[in-house]
Chain A
Amino acid sequence: MSDLLKFDLLSASIALKNKEFSSLELTNAYFEAIEQTSALGAYLEIVKDHSINMAKASDKNFKNGTARPLEGLPIGVKDMFCTKNIKTTASSKILENFCPTYESTVTQNLWDDGAVMLGKLSCDEFAMGSSNETAAKGNVVNPWLKNSKMSPGGSSGGSASAVAARSALAATGTDTGGSIRQPAAFCGITGLKPTYGRCSRWGIVAFSSSLDQAGPLTRTVSDAALMLNSMAGHDKKDSTSANLEMPDLMNYLDRGIRGKKIGIPKEYTQDGISDDIVTFYEKSINWLKESGAEILPVSLPHTKYALPVYYIIAPAEASSNLARYDGVRYGKRNEAASLDEMYEVTRGNGFGEEVKRRIMIGTYVLSSGYYDAYYLKAQKVRRLIKEDFDNVFEEVDYILTPSTPTTSFELGKKQDPLTMYLNDIFTVPASLAGLPGISLPVGLDKSGLPIGIQLIANSFDEPGLIRTARVLERNAEFNFIADGAAK
């Protein structure tokens, strides 16, 4: 039982500065919470000695008056981020013993700003999945309706589950087609996918290089701003990293949205979207209107093609990126008589079913005779999807959509890959266009599961995303805590 778990990232940061408690006390409270919620399976690895050392160093900095922006705040790291001398598996059997000799830029930025690392969080294998069920060590459980064993979403399911269960103050995630926003929506927390290029991809296990982006999963919009401030930044080691200064997001929290234009895309209100989500979508539109925004209907005509484009481009890039797991340089090897057989049994045994499926699809669409019909075609339609957004952002400042068509589902209930893919129908379009998006909780459905709403902004307008999300957050007053959260 700890009162310290009540503090979110921002309020804990203030309390630490005011010496209301120490980082060591806070970190220990989180280790108790991790133990209490271990049945959720969010953590793959905890690094208690390392955490305690970091917390003690932070307490020294508070004493010396040299505290940094995230000083002493204990956070979790998705297992897609390479962490020096700490096992990094991407939730895959093929990397079960991989221990990086370097640190990803994003996590290094967090440690340089004083954050304390609690451990590594489970995810779908190589971030391929929408339910956290493809993880080699088994699924993670959503802390909401804990007795019903609901999915935390994916692929950042461990990150979302831990933040909602209060076993991490905040966590890092990666988002390729919705992997931050969808689990955030399922677990009743805030998840922000920045503009492609905002956060360095260096040291993040590569899935689909033209789409992958790191971002924060947090309890509040302010926490997302605080954490992204530290995660983002230009990095020479990533050639797609944007050489563009990001303004201090904390300055945008309370600017309001009077006079801003919000687009409501007609293509996002389709059949199959749950009634409760429609209700809260309409409420959200009204909250923005009452706060002085102008609401405009807009059209993104190629929206229905986003998923087919995604399920060509992402597997194509994945099949190429995952060619590196060859049993030679790192990762697990299965012995065989010849080199080719060694590759085949190593990869056949090391990868899970969904990963193999995607490698096969990717190899097929890139293979001779099919490249133009699938891959090139998908790249062309990707341009049309991006142009849809470019056109709409001539008329409006932000776009409001539901985050997901349904709330969380029971683990083990969706067996068909295609049905699973449909989960990302509202998050994939912004990913393909490289745009920043945020999902935040606005209410509960009839069964008591969180509902997420998504805001999409133009490239590099994270400040606008934050100020608009804050208006929604204030109106929604989502103060519910998951029944499976640590107490």
Chain B
Amino acid sequence: MSNKESIVDIPTVNKIARLSRLNIPEASKQNLTNDLNNILGFVAQLEEVNTSDVKPLASVTGHKLPLRSDKVTDGNIEDLVLKNAPESSSGFFVVPKVIE
């Protein structure tokens, strides 16, 4: 992590966009790169905090995650599950062909 100059360049933006499954138009890539560098430069100030003996905090609840018995609590709602699907057929979600 460094707040010097730019951290991400256009190839990095392409890679992150690919990982995020986001189509980014060529024309907006430079602006996006600048925005990301500004934000990453801003958050880089965390470097100055000494955290060598600090445990990461993932949850503030302070309680243990509750467990429940492994039993079916609902079901038989195929129609409802598929109701908002852009495309469905015979009780399945339909996606573009994935096998050549």
- By a beta-carbon cutoff of 8 Å, the part of chain A in contact with chain B is 97-101, 196-197, 210, 236, 239-240, 242-243, 302, 304-305, 307-309, 311-312, 319, 323, 326-333, 335-345, 347-349, 351, 356-357, 359-361, 363-364, 367, 370, 373-374, 376-384, 386, 416-418, 421, 432-434, 459
Contacts and interface: CB of A to CB of B under 8 A. Distances in A.
Interface string B33-73: 00110111011111101010011111111110110100000
A364 B16 contact: yes
A242 B55 contact: no
Taking chain B's interface residues, is the majority helix, strand, or loop, or is none over half, making it mixed?
Answer: loop
B16 A308 contact: no
Q: Which 9 A-B pairs have the closest CB atoms?
A: A348-B23, A434-B60, A379-B56, A330-B84, A333-B86, A383-B57, A380-B51, A373-B1, A344-B23
A447 B14 CA distance: 46
Nearest to A101: B80
A363 B32 CA distance: 14
B85 A308 contact: no
Contact of A347 (B21, B39, B49, B98): B21
A360 B83 contact: no
Contacts of A312: 43, 46
B84 A349 contact: no
Given A311-B39, A357-B32, A332 B51 contact: no
A465 to B, nearest CB: 17
Contacts of A304: 45
B61 A308 contact: no
Contacts of A311: 39, 42-43
A210 B38 contact: no
A429 to B, nearest CB: 12
30 contacts: A101-B83, A210-B59, A236-B66, A243-B63, A311-B39, A312-B46, A329-B93, A330-B85, A331-B86, A332-B86, A335-B96, A341-B23, A344-B21, A356-B22, A359-B22, A360-B32, A363-B16, A363-B20, A364-B40, A377-B1, A378-B43, A379-B56, A380-B55, A382-B56, A382-B57, A384-B49, A421-B42, A434-B60, A459-B60, A459-B62
Given A377-B49, A380-B55, A386-B60, 4 more contacts: A98-B84, A348-B23, A383-B57, A416-B38
